[in-house]
Chains A and B, each alone.
Chain A
């Protein structure tokens, strides 16, 4: 059974810093891995999706990497801004079983101006 873990649970950084959010998964037979952003009391917004055949995806200041052999994915945010403050969730799908997405509990990011 796939399990997804995100550490740390919360992170606070000053504006302008580059930062990395971590995600680990137990089953390396993943189909894809997604990163989402969730603002307080809101739904989820998809940020990046990495297929199992890919090693990274980039969108603007965001870069997500995937290392299946080590069971890890990272989300890199460059030049952080206060507007980046939110909870970031990663989720994995596997080629086995029927569960479409297994989520981590998220990392709550605060970017201080």
Chain B
């Protein structure tokens, strides 16, 4: 069966510090991968998605970047965090671009 992991589960970082969130998927090959952010009162926002290694599409301009160094690994990064980067970050995967998406447990990021 397929599983998706995210770490860390929670993170408190000062403004201006770097960020690296990791997501890995097990039990499948060549998944589509997604990063979402859920901010209070704003719903889920798609940040990045990837259909293959090294292929990243960005949905909104922002302070964040994503990379996919391996088939089942998706990393969300920032060089300098802003207060507005606080939120709940969710990674998801799907077999095909438009089919059911399966979500990880999320990372709660607080920028102080």
Contact = CB atoms under 8 A, between A and B. Distances in A.
Interface of A: 31-32, 34, 36, 41-46, 49, 89, 91, 93, 98-106
Give the interface residue-count category, chain B. 20 to 34
B104 interface: yes
Interface of B: 6, 32, 34, 41-46, 49, 57, 59, 88, 90, 92, 94, 97-106, 108
A104 B106 contact: no
Contact of B34 (A34, A36, A100, A102): A100
A96 to B, nearest CB: 12
A105 B105 CA distance: 18
Tell me whether chain A's interface is mostly helix, strand or loop, or mixed. strand
B12 to A, nearest CB: 15
A43 B105 contact: yes
